[in-house]
Structure 1
Amino acid sequence: MRTSLLKNYFLFFVMMTILPQANYCLPDDQTTVRVLVINFDPLIPQKGNQPLHIALNWKDPHKLSDGYIEAIKEVSDGYINYKIVEWLDTDAFPVKVDGFTYTPESFVNNWEKKDGWHQPDGVDYEKLVVDYKVVDRINKNEIDELWIFGAPYMGFWESAMAGPGAFYINGGVYDSVKVDHPFVIMGFSYERGVAEMLHDLSHRTESTMARIYGGWEIDKLTTNWAKFAANEFQSKSTAAVGTCHYPPNGEKDYDYKNPRVVESNADEYLDYPNIKGITKKVSCETWGGPDYHLNYMKWWFTRIPKAAGINEDGRLNNWWEYIFNFNSYTEDGKAK
């Protein structure tokens, strides 16, 4: 999954000893995330036997995937490179935890009348990863991550983790799955856009970093993660980069178009760990429109620290490592 981890870790230590204020990643220091995609896109007879995403005039999952991959490469400065190993299109609805599956007719009928959805809604993830041989491919070191594309009411988590030692990343924790090591399952909807895909990863990031720092209270700026995520409204302080739902100037969930101007030191995180408290005025026009949600997500991820070395708090200065190479670190951020 990664290139020369031990070598780079040693070089990071050496460079930080010689140049403690330096902020850079090695040119060859990248992570390739190998992905298996399962696209649940059943054919709909009453809509000319078209795949569901076409029948209901939703988005092309291939284009969504391409847009997401490019966005993550951009915001991580090339540090995270997704590689789709295989794309499986399946003419099926996923099986829910009680064994229920929709038919094309029942699903479309429910969608059109906005009623009749089955409960419990959740998918049987333990069955899914066995039926589609995901466990085998993880154990053979062919893939690192699973993406599931589907529609509303198919019952996917935004992000989940399976395997012994799995932990909460804003979705189900399936630690009984018999696999060599934990792996992530991302759930994406072709009814939505790239903004929502980044949104899913943002929540995964929040959960991961809260674990690394032993918890997270938005109004207690006692850790570097809490300081990064500070927003003026909830944190009762000078804002920094904000959270998935609350931008630095936000006053409610999903407040990405708020024109309110606040002081924020968000740009300092482009030079992390050199944080001096220098602020600038920010508003929704800082990340800009017309898609304020998408542009805020990109702005937010661009400021996720990705510098070399180990911080004074004992955690890496490169938080992307924790998000994607989580199997290489303990729950408090130390290298295994």
Structure 2
Amino acid sequence: MAKLSWAGALGIGLGLAAPALAQAGASDRGPFEIPVLIISYFPTNGDQIDIRVTGDWGASLADTRAKTKRLTGEVIQALEQGSRYRGYTNPDAPPSLRYRVVGEIEFLRPLPTFAKRGHRTPMTDYARIMAEVDIRDWVERRGVREVWLWGYHGGKVDLWESNMASPFGDVSNSDRDPNDLPVLAHTYTVYHYNYQRGTSEAVEDHLHQIEAVLNHIDGRDHTPPAQWTNLLFWGKFVGSDASHKIIRPGCGWAHYPPNAERDYDWANPRYVETDIEDWKPDGTGRKQRLNCQRWGCDSLKWFIYWMQNVPGRDNGLFYQGKRLRNWWVFIGDYDTTRKLGWKLVED
């Protein structure tokens, strides 16, 4: 049975959210509001989470509810802080993203799953979940643009960290199955969190979605891998190629800080010369000697620091004579950017 909490434990009221941008006179300046629907699956055995279902989490229902509430708040804080362009040096930098929880739905039973070809573990049935919560109403009438799904993994279910449904096609960190979510009039993205883990892992889901979107906008999906080094985002900003390793210490990506030597190398003490804090597309930014101490050798702090180096509001950057947009517009109002055909630089 579903427990519906429209204002929810966060005490945030409902309202019909207008699109972040109006197409006429559209601006990439921001901030962009992202209305969020929270869905939680807490399979219970008495007043405990049933570890036979989750595989690795058997805390009390009360503690699990409290943890997901805390993590939700911390994820919001991290994402908003991360959208403050170079906020680590400019305390007045405004966030480009604002998140608003508009509803919460809770199920005291296991995640629905199905046998998906190519997967050994049952796959989360996202289409069924969306049907049960009437996602059309939430997206088309209430303005929801992101669904945050609190669940579990534990080797019991397979999942996608992010999964998009859009009239413009699925751009997400998934297999981009066009049939696993209902496609509606507006784009929405489902993030599947694991309450056995922490804030860092949830935020990492968002970083991979940001990477997927910016790569798509920049044309990587249709660019031969041998030419990825020439791309504005992946080649020049990240500093990588088809190997996904850092070949030029630029700004890095979720798994690879500029000094990384392998995946998830967030605590590497090795120093490199990088222009991450003065990145310019033409490579003329000031370089500095840097190692993991700059972000406390901590994954979550790295994610926020990386986000704050993504070209944001008033970035003042140019590429081949054209102004770089505030790239957060592609996360904050994807539909309008697709309707207008916007790229990472102005036309």
Q: TM-score, length-normalised on structure 2? A: 0.75
* Matches of 2:246 and 2:266, distance apart in 1: 17
Provide the C-alpha distance between the structure 2 equivalents of 1:3 and 1:49, rounded to a whole number of angstroms: 44
Distance of 2:195 and 2:188 partners within structure 1: 23
Deviates more, 1:147-156 or 1:83-92: 147-156
Output the amino acid matched with 1:206.
E
Counting only pairs closer than 5 Å after superposition, residues 70-81 of structure 1 correspond to structure 2 as 70-77=77-84, 78-81=95-98
Determine the structure 1 residue equivalent to 2:313. 307
Using a 3 Å threshold, how does the CA distance of structure 1 residues 48 and 68 change in structure 2: closer, same or farther? closer
Which has more helix, going by share of residues? 1
**Aligned with residue 168 of structure 1, among 141, 155, 171:** 171
Name whichever of 164-173 and 212-221 sits farther off: 212-221
State the one-letter code of the partner of 1:134.
I
Question: Structure 2, unaligned stretches of length 5 or more?
Answer: 1-18, 85-94
Q: Distance in 2 between matches of 1:44 and 1:274?
A: 59
Matched residue of 1:195: which SS? Answer: helix
Aligned length: 296
Aligned pair partner of 1:263 in 273, 276, 286: 273
Q: CA deviation at 1:119?
A: 4.0
Would you say 1:158 and 2:161 are equivalent positions? yes
Q: Distance in 1 between matches of 2:313 and 2:41?
A: 38
Distance change (3 Å), C-alpha of 1:209 and 1:248: same
User: Tell me, what secondary structure is at the counterpart of 1:137?
Assistant: helix
2:338 alignment partner, SS class:
coil
1:248–1:231 Cα change, 3 Å: farther
One-letter identity of the residue aligned with 2:195: Y
Shift of 1:231: 5.8
**Any idea what SS the aligned residue of 2:159 has?**
coil
For 2:100, what is the secondary structure of its paired residue? strand
Change (3 A) 1:307 1:49: closer
Deviation at 1:40, TM superposition (A): 0.7
Q: Using the alignment, how far apart are the partners of 1:190 and 1:143 within structure 2?
A: 22
Q: Distance in 1 between the 2:113 and 2:50 partners?
A: 24
Give a deviation string over 1:183-224, Cα, whole Å, max 9, x none: 111111111111111211111111111111111759843122
Question: In structure 2, how many angstroms separate the alpha carbons of the residues matched to 1:53 and 1:320?
Answer: 38
User: Which structure carries more relative contact order (alpha carbon 8 Å, separation 6+)?
Assistant: 2
Instruction: Judge conservation of contact 1:35–1:146 (CA < 8 Å) in 2.
Output: yes
Q: Name the amino acid aligned to 1:234.
A: K
Measure how far apart 1:254 and its partner are.
0.2
Residue 206, structure 1, aligned to residue 216, structure 2: no
Counterpart mapping for 1:29-44 below 5 A:
29-44=30-45
Q: Any conservation in 2 of the 1:159–1:171 contact (CA below 8 Å)?
A: yes
1:2 paired with 2:20, answer yes
- For the structure 1 residues 242 and 46, does the alpha-carbon distance in structure 2 shift closer, same or farther, using more than 3 Å as the test? same
CA RMSD in angstroms comes to 3.3
Confirm or deny: 8 A CA contact 1:161 1:172 kept in the other structure: no
| Counterpart in the other structure of 1:103 | none
Match of 1:179 among 176, 180, 184: 184
Distance in 1 (CA, whole Å) between partners of 2:171 and 2:183 is: 18
Q: Deviations over 1:138-168 (max 9, x none)?
A: 1214312111001113433110012433323
CA distance in structure 1 between the partners assigned to 2:277 and 2:24 by the alignment: 30
User: Per the alignment, in what secondary structure is the counterpart of residue 234 of structure 1?
Assistant: coil
Q: Distance in 2 between matches of 1:49 and 1:280?
A: 50
Q: Structure 2 matches for 1:136-155, cutoff 5 A?
A: 136-152=137-153, 153-155=156-158
Q: 2:230 — aligned with what?
A: 222
Partner Cα separation in structure 2 for residue 149 and residue 49 of structure 1: 15
Q: Tell me if the contact between 1:163 and 1:174 (Cα under 8 Å) persists in the aligned partners.
A: no
Q: Is the 8 A contact 1:123 1:154 kept in 2?
A: yes
**Taking structure 1 as reference, are residues 159 and 315 closer, same or farther at Cα in structure 2, changes over 3 Å only?**
farther
- Give the drift of 1:243: 1.1
Q: Identify the residue that residue 106 of structure 1 maps to in structure 2.
A: none
For 1:53 and 1:300, the matched residues in 2 are separated by: 34
Cα distance change on mapping 1:220 and 1:40 into 2, 3 Å: same
TM-score, normalised via structure 1 length: 0.77
Structure 1 portions without partners, runs of 5+: 13-24, 100-117
User: Partners of 2:171 and 2:231 in 1: how far apart?
Assistant: 20
Distance 1:144 1:234, change over 3 A: closer
Following the alignment from structure 1 to structure 2, what is the Cα–Cα distance between the partners of residues 48 and 318? 43
Partners of 1:173 and 1:48 lie apart in 2 by: 31
* 1:295 shift after superposition: 1.1
1:2-35 deviations in Å (ceiling 9; x for gaps):
15564452xx7xxxxxxxxxxxx5xxx3111001
Does the CA-based 8 Å contact 2:245-2:262 persist in structure 1?
A: no
| Matched residue, 1:293 | 299
How many angstroms apart in 2 are the aligned matches of 1:277 and 1:49? 53
